[in-house]
Amino acid sequence: MKPHIGSWPVLIIVWLVILLTALLTRPLLPVDETRYASVAWEMWSRGDFLVPYLNGEPYSHKPPLYFWLIHAGWWLFGVHEWVLRCIAPLIALCILLASAHLSRQLWPGDAITARLVPWLVFGSIFFTGFASWVQIDLLLVLMTLLAMTGIIHAARGARGAWLLTGVAIGLGILSKGPVMLLQVLPVALLVPLWRQDDGVYCRGCWYAGVSASVLLGAVIALAWALPAAQAGGESYRDAILWGQTANRMVQSFAHAHPVWWYLPWLALLFAPWILLPWCWSALRRAGSVSDEGLRFCLVWLVSVFILMSLISGKQVKYLLPLVPAFALLLGRVWSHMDDGVSRQRPWLPGGVLFMAGGLLAVLPLVMDAAPWINDIQPLWGLLLMGMALVMLWQRPLQAAEYPQRLTLFSVVVIVLLHLGVYRTGAPAYDVQSASHVIARAQAAGREVAIAARYHGQFGFAGRLTQPLVQLQADGALAWAAQHPQDYLVVITRSAVEEYPKAVFTQPYRSGYLFILTGEAVVNAPAVLH
């Protein structure tokens, strides 16, 4: 069977559709996107490219590589929002290219799999959705792919390939921290499980190469970490050298979940492919086309999944580096399916899409988590239901026809979600107007405080050069009494009409955002509760 696979120009057009849809339909969303944008802005405005800062304090939660990429874009094109929002999509495009390249290294001469894998990666709806977000995780995926490419080159006898692996490890640590080692080392250390012992390679030399690459990666990471730790102060030093490494693994201060937590999320991570009977048929046939490359992918998938499950802190996005591994495995066995397979309809993904569309159509009736949800038009849910019916009632497809077809369906789903949900909710997540009010107040010499946990969501949007004063709820009233003409940002679920004396109001996420003078807060203290 010759899979029907779209060309690279078609895939790039699809990628552009995702990018432009995100740019034109939604703002930077709090709290992650606005936070990363503000960190990049604060480093840029301070002229300090060594230590990341957020609201005037060293920001220890992320290393600087992603922010450096944003700075490179700003240096070339100026400080614009569209520049920083293009970084992640460009990284996603590089991931597609790197996945195809790794496929060619794993299976030289197998052009079909190399063409199939990028479509399987981009068709994974979780990855596709992530490709347009200002997020650092995609950079970790790319560095993982580069490290794996170096390992495969080393397995083919290219000892200099350990240099590529070491550089990728170092850049991966500068992207997301030492978790990069958990993505790479299991495959490298478990080489007897996937490498054919043909007498060509020496195990001692192999592990020496692994050690050298880890050492090189550590040197690259420490070249930033040591001077940054010195410049950032004691608390920052403790955070980047200990708090963000061992503490996250053993006893996470955020996103702590039990060891089994990832299991039910695998369906989302590998959707829609894992919902297809052809996927399971292909995986069951893996034994009949077993080779070194397949064993490599299996060891990669299983070992990293187990290690990530053992770590205390968990989010679904932490498993993103496994999407290319799954695509490589599936692509290899899928491309070897024979012509005798019968045609089938995608009943399960079509049924899931139909139910998702139905839920979206009735969402305003069954959910009241945020005021803007009531504005979602049922039309968008009906369109998803219509897509599902088209998927189910078109002619039955052979397994070879699924990759491009379902990738296009995944893209259309993401586009409709942007048009129907993200665009509707955009006014409640757009902090531009509030940020400009804060910027004008600071320029006029007013102090601005916030009576909530502050994630830096106003920093980049307002191009702020002064930090906000962060207050606990029990201390906000006293601050307001001492600063009657200064401004206090309050985020609450109370209705807008209860506070007509606010300087600025807007729906914000699941509630409302107010900017009030200290005097107004003293006269209406209920706003703080």
In terms of DSSP bridges, do strands 448-450 and 469-470 run parallel, antiparallel, or are they unpaired? parallel
Max CA pair span of the chain: 82
Q: Which whole number is the average pLDDT over 239-249?
A: 65
Q: Which two tokens stand for residue 317?
A: 């996005």
Domain co-membership, 298 together with 443: no
Domain co-membership, 329 together with 447: no
Domain co-membership, 436 together with 315: no
User: Within a domain: residue 251?
Assistant: yes
User: Within a domain: residue 69?
Assistant: yes
User: Within a domain: residue 394?
Assistant: no
Domain boundary among 334, 353, 387: 334
For every residue of 18-55, DSSP letters joined together read HHHHHHHH--PPTTHHHHHHHHHHHHHHHT--SS-EET
Q: Which whole number is the average pLDDT over 410-416?
A: 86
What is the pLDDT, as a whole number, of residue 109?
85
Q: Which residue has the higher pLDDT, 399 or 269?
A: 269
Residue 45: name the closest of 70, 65, 23, 13 by CA: 70
Domain co-membership, 62 together with 209: yes
Residue 373: name the closest of 382, 386, 363, 362 by CA: 363
What is the pLDDT, as a whole number, of residue 367?
65
Calpha distance 131→195 (Å, rounded): 33
- Range with lowest mean pLDDT among 347-351, 426-430, 452-456: 347-351
User: Within a domain: residue 51?
Assistant: yes
In which region does residue 466 sit, left (phi positive, over 0), alpha (psi from -120 to 50) or beta (all else)?
beta
Residue 412 has pLDDT above 90, yes or no: no
In which region does residue 262 sit, left (phi positive, over 0), alpha (psi from -120 to 50) or beta (all else)?
alpha
Domain co-membership, 330 together with 436: no
User: Within a domain: residue 341?
Assistant: no
Residue 434: name the closest of 411, 464, 406, 408 by CA: 464
Residue 224 has pLDDT above 90, yes or no: yes
Domain co-membership, 323 together with 470: no
Reported pTM: 0.91
pLDDT mean across residues, the chain: 87
What are the residues facing 514 on neighbouring strands? 490, 505
Domain boundary among 285, 302, 334: 334
Residue 152 has pLDDT above 80, yes or no: yes
* pLDDT band at 392; cut points 50, 70, 90: confident
* pLDDT band at 1; cut points 50, 70, 90: very low
Domain co-membership, 460 together with 329: no
User: Within a domain: residue 61?
Assistant: yes
Residue 180: name the closest of 135, 216, 150, 217 by CA: 217
Digit-coded pLDDT (tens) for 247-278: 555 554 456 788 889 999 998 899 888 887 77
Please, are residues 138 and 92 in contact by the beta-carbon 8 Å criterion? yes
Domain boundary among 277, 300, 334: 334
Range of the domain at 467: 432-528
User: Within a domain: residue 295?
Assistant: yes
Residue 3 has pLDDT above 60, yes or no: no
Q: Which whole number is the average pLDDT over 425-433?
A: 92
For every residue of 345-369, DSSP letters joined together read --HHHHHHHHHHHHHHHHHHHH--S
The letter for the amino acid at 174 is: L
Query: Domain total for the chain?
Result: 2
Report CA 431 to chain centroid distance, whole Å.
21
Q: Which two tokens stand for residue 140?
A: 């970790």
Domain co-membership, 101 together with 215: yes
Digit-coded pLDDT (tens) for 157-187: 887 899 999 999 999 999 999 999 999 999 9
What is the pLDDT, as a whole number, of residue 340?
45
Calpha distance 286→300 (Å, rounded): 15
Q: Which residue has the higher pLDDT, 77 or 495?
A: 77
User: Within a domain: residue 17?
Assistant: yes
Q: Which whole number is the average pLDDT over 340-367?
A: 72
Calpha distance 238→241 (Å, rounded): 5
- Range with lowest mean pLDDT among 230-239, 384-393, 515-524: 384-393
Calpha distance 118→102 (Å, rounded): 11
Calpha distance 309→41 (Å, rounded): 34
